[in-house]
């Protein structure tokens, strides 16, 4: 069992967990993830290691409630434990001194880009961060990102905080202002990563994305996470999760992400109904 030492609500439907997992912290690096089971009979879900403390043997996970398992996890509190935390999985981010690096986080993707922002800053880069959210209420990790960014831009879709618009609008402005950018790292919804890649491709700005494919085993056995990169089939779990965004077929990724949408909707509906019935004592 993996004890939860701390839990905090960062925004509606987004929780931060600090979890004791000393074997994971021994070797983990920015860009890697773990596969978690909330309960013994629960499904396995991939979550990025948003932060870690090797001395204390803890990892931080930041989790958005989107379906049955992430809602179940959201009900846990400090003192509870996760059944499994397997990792670190995937390749670490390729962190080095390049010059100017732009890190982009969309929604909960900000939690995934945060450890890389920190690592690229610590490697001596000039770091420009752009983080985008639907509205002010959903903004997370602003102070943490500011700490490791030479410039930080925040966008909201509705203009309730920061600049009104999308992260790509801010990136377009930076490019058009003639800012020399050596690398872009974009992490968020597939459509956001696709738009960023379409923007940087004509300027030949290398762009790394972290793919959020559906996963089960995380060890290249089930094939669930396969994606097309440069015309080849890759497994996000062992070949990624980071890839050259200009080579990723985002249309296939988005199609595969929606494969089980109806089943996922039904599972969440059933779970919330059972919870409500239990709360009213009818089960």
Q: Which does 48 bind (CB under 5 to 8 A by kind): ligand FES, ligand FAD, none?
A: ligand FAD
* Stretch 2-31: interaction string toward ligand FES, x if CB under 6 A: ------------------------------
3-class DSSP assignment, residue 227: strand
Would you count residue 89 as binding ligand FES (CB under 6 A)?
no
Binding to ligand FES (CB under 6 A): which residues in 213-242?
Answer: 215-218, 220-225, 235, 237
Query: Least distance in Å: CB of 44 to ligand FES?
Result: 9
Q: Please answer whether residues 60 and 24 qualify as being in contact, where contact means their C-beta atoms are separated by less than 8 angstroms.
A: no
Q: Say how far apart CA 118 and CA 127 lie, in whole Å.
A: 9
Nearer to ligand FES among residue 198 and residue 249 (C-beta): 249
Q: Please answer whether residues 7 and 16 qualify as being in contact, where contact means their C-beta atoms are separated by less than 8 angstroms.
A: yes
Residues 6+ apart with CB under 8 A from 23: none
Binding interface with ligand FAD (CB under 6 A): 33, 45-48, 62-64, 66-70, 108, 111-112, 212-215, 236, 241, 261, 264, 267-268
Our separate counts of H helices and E strands in the chain read: 9, 17
Nearer to ligand FAD among residue 70 and residue 200 (C-beta): 70
Nearer to ligand FAD among residue 46 and residue 175 (C-beta): 46
Distance of CA 50 to the CA centre of its chain: 8
Q: Which does 221 bind (CB under 5 to 8 A by kind): ligand FES, ligand FAD, none?
A: ligand FES
Rounded to the nearest 5 percent, the helix, strand and coil shares of the chain are: 35, 30, 35
Q: Say how far apart CA 223 and CA 220 lie, in whole Å.
A: 6
- Chain residues binding ligand FES by CB under 6 A are 215-218, 220-225, 235, 237
């Amino acid at each position: 069992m993996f004890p939860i030492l701390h839990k905090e609500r960062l925004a509606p439907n987004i929780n931060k967990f600090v979890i004791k997992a000393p074997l994971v912290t021994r070797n983990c690096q920015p860009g890697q993830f773990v596969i978690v089971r909330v309960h013994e009979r629960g499904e396995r879900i991939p979550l990025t290691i948003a932060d870690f403390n090797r001395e204390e043997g803890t990892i931080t996970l930041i989790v958005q409630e989107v379906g049955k398992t992430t809602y179940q996890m959201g009900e846990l509190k400090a003192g509870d434990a996760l059944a499994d935390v397997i990792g670190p999985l995937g390749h670490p981010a390729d962190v080095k001194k390049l010059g100017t690096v732009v890190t982009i986080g969309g929604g909960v993707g900000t939690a995934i880009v945060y450890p890389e922002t920190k690592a690229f800053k610590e490697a001596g880069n000039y770091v420009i961060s752009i983080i985008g959210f639907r509205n002010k209420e959903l903004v997370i990790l602003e102070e943490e990102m500011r700490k490791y960014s030479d410039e930080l831009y925040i966008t909201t879709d509705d203009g309730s905080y920061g600049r009104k618009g999308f992260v790509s609008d801010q990136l377009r402005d930076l490019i058009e202002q003639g800012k020399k950018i050596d690398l872009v790292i974009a992490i968020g919804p597939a459509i956001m990563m696709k738009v960023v890649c379409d923007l940087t491709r004509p300027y030949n700005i290398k762009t790394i994305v972290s793919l959020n494919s559906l996963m089960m085993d995380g060890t290249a056995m089930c094939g669930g996470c396969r994606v097309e990169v440069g015309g080849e089939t890759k497994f996000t779990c062992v070949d990624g999760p980071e890839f050259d965004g200009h080579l990723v077929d985002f249309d296939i990724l988005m199609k595969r992400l929606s494969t089980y949408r109806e089943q996922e909707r039904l599972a969440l509906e059933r779970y919330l109904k059972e919870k409500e019935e239990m709360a009213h004592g009818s089960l």
